[in-house]
Amino acid sequence: MSEPNEITFEQTRKDFLSFLKYTKGHADTTCYNYNSDLSIWQRWLIEAKLDWQNCGPTDVEHFVSHLSREGVGAHAVARKISCLATFYKWAKRNSKVQEDPIYQIEKPKRPRRIPVWLETEEQNALIKATRNYDDIPDNIFGRSRDSLLAVRQRYELLFELIQKSGLRISEALGLKIRDARVVDGVAKSIRVIGKGNKERQVPLPESFGRVLALSVVGKGTDDYLFAKKPGGKPPTAHAVRAYLKKLIEKAGIDKKVTPHKLRHTYATRLLEKDVQLVDIQALLGHESIATTQIYTHAGQERLSKLVADI
């Protein structure tokens, strides 16, 4: 076995990210976040003149203090420490380090966030704004109105799918035509590969199932459901968020709404229909019921607001 000081941080990080992606099945976005957090840790170690293989719990605590002084929020700090905990646990198991500096420290708890969702009237406003095509120009950058209309309708289908299924944006963009189970002209469910490469079947409401089934007619089974052109790739998550932002502004909704907030909206509608948490957990693909429980807090806050002026 090589001596510890012969093992570089850079190579170890690459091996760790490969482990996350190919062994654990983490999404590209998750791996990107881990890589970013490890880069921040590496820069701090260099400035502090510390060795990544020989640092201790006190050094990690100094790192946390540094982040706080830099104005990094509690949730982001907790994420970075969680990243380091996973990294060093893996590194010790694979003989990259002799000691795990994270193991003994008290992990900062992530503050519980109340999820943001759309009220029913806001959902209706979004649908109305999306289906109002008056703002689509006749021509822009050489693209015809018909092509721009096709783009709008693709996003309309995407945003409605998330609100009817609770998919993560990465899951929705990764769907292929073959993932929709169509029976007698109705898409009954969709097959989703979620976090950790775990598969689940998500049922769809019949009315939306008919719309989705029509959208896949004549398309190749290996094509992406939201491909920008036949045989092409879907839009990026960044492009999706930007397009949704424009529609939210057009709808006059005074909230910061992302595709993930549409997922929250789906979960909130289920909770309002008294769907059991364990069933919501299965539909959303949460590994832990604790993650799903944030929606009970959302419900309690909603009730508090309703009775505030009584």
Tokens found for residue 6: 């012969």
Choose, from 21, 219, 260, 269, the residue flagged as catalytic. Answer: 260
> Does residue 109 carry a catalytic annotation?
no
Choose, from 88, 263, 264, 266, the residue flagged as catalytic. Answer: 263
Q: Residue 53: CB partners within 8 Å, gap ≥ 6?
A: 4, 5, 7, 96, 97, 98
Choose, from 191, 195, 210, 241, the residue flagged as catalytic. Answer: 195
Choose, from 168, 176, 243, 264, the residue flagged as catalytic. Answer: 168
Q: Residue 126: CB partners within 8 Å, gap ≥ 6?
A: 118, 159, 247, 248, 251, 253
> Does residue 260 carry a catalytic annotation?
yes
Letter for the amino acid at 174? G
Strand 143-144 to 139-140 pairing: antiparallel
> Does residue 286 carry a catalytic annotation?
yes
Give the containing element (helix H, strand E) for 301: helix 294-307
> Does residue 195 carry a catalytic annotation?
yes
CA dist., res. 301 & res. 294, Å (int): 11
At CB < 8 A and 24+ separation, what contacts does 51-55 make?
A: 52/9, 52/97, 53/4, 53/5, 53/7, 53/96, 53/97, 53/98, 54/99, 55/101
Active-site residue list: 168, 195, 260, 263, 286, 295
